[in-house]
Chain A
Amino acid sequence: MTLMSRVVIGSVLILAWPLAHAADGQKIFTQGGANPAAMACLGCHGADGKGIAAAGFPRLAGLPAGYLSKQLHDWRNGTRKQPVMEPLAKALTEDEIQAVSTYLASLPSDPAPDERRQQIADNPTARLALYGDWSRQIPGCVQCHGPGGSGVGDHFPPLAGQPAPYLIAQLNGWRDGSRSNDPNQLMVGVAKAMTDAEVKAIAEYFATPTPAEVKP
């Protein structure tokens, strides 16, 4: 072993040292946090973090770390309600929240469909998703959540690939006031303006997106 490679290996070990002590996001995902009440994510959110559609457990893989971290904090301080997630989030340390959020954000996810506003919507659901209904002050979903519901930045999470029951539950949560942790109350007005039928149709639209039929 040359002197140089010893130096390199030594440096790598020294650099790696602090990481060993920081919370391990992957370990939290697969085994849970240090506190046993912080159960492993994969139990409900799937081994690949893409959620369990049949149960309505949401996709976490590839969601923005800032969004995930905010939700965990909101459950801790009670601004978002959910009987399973509240105690779980309270059992995570601050370091663990950061680590698991970063890890989940790094997990691969299916690309959002390339559905853009340039298309002429050929049915009322696509119309609502792409353009909204401004007679009721509803912006198109993709105007904030990105093309195909891909998600935009830390505040506008992906809709694509979320199970329909999860999306329905969230929209209904905003409608009945049981969910209210949206920044600037941007979702509550939109959700309240939607009908039951639209909530269901929009949820299914993003859960099982169909390829665009009209291409310019």
Chain B
Amino acid sequence: MRALMPTLLLAAIGNAFASPIAMEDQSQLKVPGAQATPQFVPPAESELPDNAFGKMVREGHALFVDTRRLMPEAVGNGLNCSNCHLDQGRQAHSAPMWGAYPMYPAYRKKNDKVNTYAERIQGCFQFSMNGKPPAADSPQMTALSVYAYWLSSKAPTGVEIAGRGYPDVPQPKGGYDFKRGQQVYKEQCAICHGYNGEGQKVADDYVMPPLWGKDSYNWGAGMHRINTAASFIKYNMPLGKPGSLSDQQAWDVAAWINRHERPQDPRLVEGSIEKTRVKFHANDGVNLYGQQVEGVLIGRGTGS
């Protein structure tokens, strides 16, 4: 009997890896609608203790807002954490850290396993930052985790509190339109992000992030989904004027941005865009990867 138990366990584990797990993605569960008013307030910097923990929070904060400069070995593009998580990861409806940290560990369909928070950040580095994730026990990952933990002080664990994620913006009935999206982009976005999505730099560092091209998020990042980008845009852009675009405008401009090439999906299957599309993109929200748009195959990558 004693000998049987481990065998059964092993068999069960083997089974878990062999067959797809029928489980919803816990990290992508319903984001509370924007109508639910966020109540949570993360602690102020002035409350930071002057001790080893406070020092680690400060280090994590620095990495969070100046990621590319401080972690050049881990970031393969021109982005910082704070580009997608506004107000230093504090802003409600901007995927704040206080809405994310208390939700982990969680099962993620993206890599088909239960992820710790550190593993979740590694995903950001691999896709959104198009880089090489630091080890889960590296000093930088610890600092980033400590910063998120501190922002989540007094937040309940495992509760989808209002303000987490980017609120869902339903797809307009008529879908989206690239031409209209291009117009919105020219009028509302180009002044900061450049007419060709190239962003703007001071000296060697981006001040306004690039939205496509080799220095932007890659084809595996969540932001490549038109629905996700539309949600981010609707509730956060233009900077300082959130909610000023209609749902339709947000979808149109998100589609325009996400029809442009960006670094290849690092999960590329056997060098085949089609196989990668089937495996990773066919059931991943609304996205253009591996599809033909006006006779052009999308998802070829930027070749770097």
Residues of chain A whose beta carbon lies under 8 Å from any beta carbon of chain B: 116-121, 127, 131-132, 134, 137-139, 143-144, 146-147, 150-153, 155, 183-184, 186, 189-190, 214, 216
Q: Are B208 and A152 in contact (CB under 8 A)?
A: yes
- Of B24-32, B123-131, B234-242, B278-286, the one with at least 4 CB within 8 A of chain A: B234-242
Q: If the complex has contacts A117-B65, A152-B208, are A190 and B240 also in contact, measured as CB distance less than 8 A?
A: yes
Chain B's interface size range is: 20 to 34
The docked-state distance in angstroms from the alpha carbon of A194 to that of B82 is 23
Can you list 6 pairs linking A and B with CB atoms under 8 Å apart?
Answer: A117-B66, A120-B58, A134-B90, A134-B91, A143-B239, A144-B239
Q: How far is the CB of A176 from chain B (nearest CB, A)?
A: 19
The docked-state distance in angstroms from the alpha carbon of A138 to that of B86 is 12
Q: Is B205 an interface residue (CB 8 A)?
A: yes
Q: If the complex has contacts A118-B66, A150-B202, are A139 and B58 also in contact, measured as CB distance less than 8 A?
A: no
Q: Are A137 and B70 in contact (CB under 8 A)?
A: no
The docked-state distance in angstroms from the alpha carbon of A215 to that of B50 is 15
- Complex interface: chain B residues within 8 A of A116 (CB): 65-66
The docked-state distance in angstroms from the alpha carbon of A90 to that of B281 is 57
Additional pairs, 5, CB under 8 Å, beyond known A139-B239, A186-B240:
A118-B70, A131-B88, A150-B202, A152-B200, A189-B241
- Complex interface: chain B residues within 8 A of A121 (CB): 45
Q: If the complex has contacts A132-B87, A184-B191, A216-B58, are A120 and B48 also in contact, measured as CB distance less than 8 A?
A: yes
The 5 tightest CB contacts between A and B, nearest first, are A118-B66, A216-B62, A118-B62, A146-B202, A117-B65
Q: Is the interface of B mostly helix, strand, loop or mixed?
A: helix
The docked-state distance in angstroms from the alpha carbon of A146 to that of B206 is 9
Q: Are A143 and B58 in contact (CB under 8 A)?
A: no
Q: Are A152 and B240 in contact (CB under 8 A)?
A: no
Q: Are B86 and A134 in contact (CB under 8 A)?
A: yes
The docked-state distance in angstroms from the alpha carbon of A120 to that of B58 is 7
- Complex interface: chain A residues within 8 A of B202 (CB): 146-147, 150-152
- Complex interface: chain B residues within 8 A of A134 (CB): 86-87, 90-91
Q: Is B221 an interface residue (CB 8 A)?
A: no
- Complex interface: chain A residues within 8 A of B274 (CB): none
Q: Which of B71-95 contact A (CB under 8 A)?
A: 82, 86-88, 90-91
- Complex interface: chain B residues within 8 A of A146 (CB): 202, 207
- Complex interface: chain B residues within 8 A of A120 (CB): 45, 48, 58, 61
- Complex interface: chain B residues within 8 A of A184 (CB): 187-188, 191, 238
The docked-state distance in angstroms from the alpha carbon of A183 to that of B87 is 23
The docked-state distance in angstroms from the alpha carbon of A189 to that of B244 is 12
Q: Are A143 and B241 in contact (CB under 8 A)?
A: no
The docked-state distance in angstroms from the alpha carbon of A144 to that of B239 is 9
